[in-house]
Amino acid sequence: MRIRVINPNTTESMTALIEASARAVAGPGTVVEAVTSGMGPASIESHYDEALAVPGILAAVAEPADGYVLACFGDPGLDAAREVASGPVVGIAEAAMHAAAMVGRGFSVVTTLSRTKGRAHDLATRYVAAGACRGVHACDIAVLDLEHDPGARKEVIDLARHALERDGSDVIVLGCAGMAEFAAAASAELGVPVVDGVAAATVLVESLVRLGLRTSVREEYAPPPPKRYTGLLADFTRS
């Protein structure tokens, strides 16, 4: 099978990190096709960035694949992508939170900027039972600095340790695709499961494809009603 793993921001080096995390867990019969969005923000750290990332996501899911991963913790454009993708679409926050809820009593999210904490809470409300997400904590390291800041890994792990104590949680969810490579070291140091949403989403999409499950086209996720689109979007939308 072929899984298209989409980095919704336009930073190639981050796509490489995402690709490595997805390939590390993909099964022997799975081809991971990691792609960088062709248009939009260099990183996604606000509602504005999320909105401007969606056209690139929709263009990326328009290409055929057996399944798709949206490798951005805000799960931008997830519902719209499900209306047009040829296979199941899973967001990394969705996958990470579900996985975390299955291996512990309550998880804490460690994310980047404080301004994105509300989004993580909103997604937890959508995806998991009340109380499953015990808290969301921000390290206030910008997304693109995670890769270049030599102290980032330690800051994230120290914050995760604080979160476990403060929240009384027993699992950590990494709140950014750019933190994927911290998961193993964090789990070894903290002694708890640390969930990287890129890996979780890759395995979950593989499982859905193996189960023969695709997004239902009855009602909400049916293909969008045909209509005229004008302006720049006319090139990227279905007519």
Ligand X SMILES: O=C(O)C[C@H]1NC(=O)NC1=O
167 binds ligand X (CB under 6 A): no
Contacting range for ligand X; rule: CB under 6 A; set: 41-49, 59-67, 155-163, 227-235:
41-49
Report the C-alpha dihedral over residues 179, 144, 19, 117, rounded to 10 degrees: 50
Q: Binding marks (x or -) toward ligand X, 175..214, rule CB under 6 A?
A: -xx-------------------------------------
10 binds ligand X (CB under 6 A): no
Minimum CB–partner distance for residue 239 and ligand X (Å)? 30
73 binds ligand X (CB under 6 A): yes
72 binds ligand X (CB under 6 A): yes
Token readout for 183 is 């998961």
Minimum CB–partner distance for residue 205 and ligand X (Å)? 17
State how far the Cα of 23 lies from the Cα of 5, in Å rounded to an integer.
Answer: 10
Alpha-carbon distances, residue 2 vs 41, 118, 218 (angstroms): 26, 33, 25
Judged on CB neighbours under 10 Å (0-12, 13-18, 19+), 56 is buried
**Cβ–Cβ < 8 Å for 68, 77:** no
Contacting range for ligand X; rule: CB under 6 A; set: 111-119, 166-174, 200-208, 230-238:
111-119
**Cβ–Cβ < 8 Å for 108, 172:** yes
Contacting range for ligand X; rule: CB under 6 A; set: 107-115, 127-135, 188-196, 220-228:
107-115
Closest CA to 57 of 111, 6, 133, 97: 6
Minimum CB–partner distance for residue 237 and ligand X (Å)? 23
Minimum CB–partner distance for residue 11 and ligand X (Å)? 7
Judged on CB neighbours under 10 Å (0-12, 13-18, 19+), 139 is buried
Minimum CB–partner distance for residue 156 and ligand X (Å)? 12
**Any alpha helices (H) in the chain, and if so which ranges?**
12-25, 47-61, 78-84, 92-102, 117-127, 152-167, 183-190, 197-210
In the list 43, 108, 169, 237, the residue contacting ligand X (rule: CB under 6 A) is 43
37 binds ligand X (CB under 6 A): no
Nearer to ligand X, 50 or 167 (CB): 50
- Site residues (vs ligand X, CB under 6 A): 9, 43-45, 72-74, 111-113, 116, 143, 176-177
